[in-house]
Amino acid sequence: MNAAAFAVNLAATAGAALAVLLAAFAVGVRTGRHRGVDVAWGLAFTAVAWTGYALSAGHGDPARRLLVTVLVTLWGLRLSGHIWSRSRGHGEDPRYDRMLAKAPGGRDAYALRMVYLLQAAIVWCVSLPVQAAQYLTTGLGPLTFASVGLWALGMFFETVGDWQLARFKADPANRGKVMDRGLWAWTRHPNYFGDACVWWALFLLAAAEPVGWAFVLSPVLMTYLLAFGSGRPLLERQLGASKPGWDAYVARTSSFLPRPPRRSPDAP
């Protein structure tokens, strides 16, 4: 890896992530709704990937550079498109309403500091293995196939899980009910599990050389956020307060890693 070129890349990708999140902030201020930051999340990763792809030309293996960039792009655009479609026509996300209701220094200023700038920093940190992979000179090998397989598994859980949930919510007969079918019977958060798989897969593309292991904390950070940070715990607190039958669902369904549902104690 060319250390000097990679250092320039790190600065440029930080700027790319910041630019996307600041653009989302401007839209949020204009519309009075900051839920658009969730749409910007996948777009920011995509911007980082393509910035790194452009700057790594002549430094990294061409096939690895293209592969990691395409994988991030497919993941990021699908996620942003899904969130945009899901949130279109709705008001502010209840999570941001609660966070910003009594924000010190004003709603928008607090959102800039605690939502947009924080997410820009997280995007940059989590994407470090992607950036490193673009500067590796090693050609594709067996680890690549493992990475693509894990990425495909993650995309399956994310895409199918989101599709199943959307169909469930579209049926008026399911209003107020807990989604406990399909992948949602195996894990309470198939989309979050899939997300974690995707980022561990992208790390494997950087792990082809020893230097890539310096960035192992990036998928660890993403997995922590999904399973223990701003992902699962916040959503489950909201669902637990609004969904009848939630406690029974929790008792029989894995919180994160997929597994067959437990049998009800009352089942024969």
pLDDT of residue 268: 31
pTM: 0.90
pLDDT of residue 1: 80
Pair 235, 192: CB distance under 8 Å: no
The predicted-structure confidence for 93-125, as pLDDT tens digits, reads as follows 777 767 777 777 788 888 898 889 999 999 999
Taking the alpha carbons at both ends of the chain, their separation in whole angstroms is: 61
Q: Are both 194 and 126 inside the same structural domain? A: no
Q: How far apart are CA 78 and CA 6, in angstroms?
A: 28
Q: Which of 140, 164, 190 is the last residue of a domain?
A: 140
Q: How far apart are CA 207 and CA 142, in angstroms?
A: 12
For residue 59, being part of any structural domain is answered with: yes
For residue 155, being part of any structural domain is answered with: yes
For residue 22, being part of any structural domain is answered with: yes
Pair 61, 138: CB distance under 8 Å: yes
For residue 10, being part of any structural domain is answered with: yes
Looking at the chain, the whole-number percentage of residues with pLDDT higher than 90 is: 64
The boundaries of the domain holding residue 148 are 141-214+227-263
Q: Are both 134 and 1 inside the same structural domain? A: yes
Q: Which of 140, 160, 189 is the last residue of a domain?
A: 140
Q: Residue 102 — φ and ψ, nearest 5°?
A: -125, 40
Tokens 């924000």 belong to which residue? Answer: 103
| Average pLDDT of the residues in 23-45 | 90
The predicted-structure confidence for 6-16, as pLDDT tens digits, reads as follows 999 999 999 99
Q: Are both 164 and 175 inside the same structural domain? A: yes
Q: Which of 140, 164, 182 is the last residue of a domain?
A: 140
113-114-116-117 Cα dihedral, nearest 10 degrees: 60
Q: Are both 130 and 18 inside the same structural domain? A: yes
Q: Are both 160 and 252 inside the same structural domain? A: yes
Q: Are both 71 and 23 inside the same structural domain? A: yes
For residue 164, being part of any structural domain is answered with: yes
- Into how many domains does the chain fold? 2
pLDDT band at 264 (very low <50, low <70, confident <90, very high): low
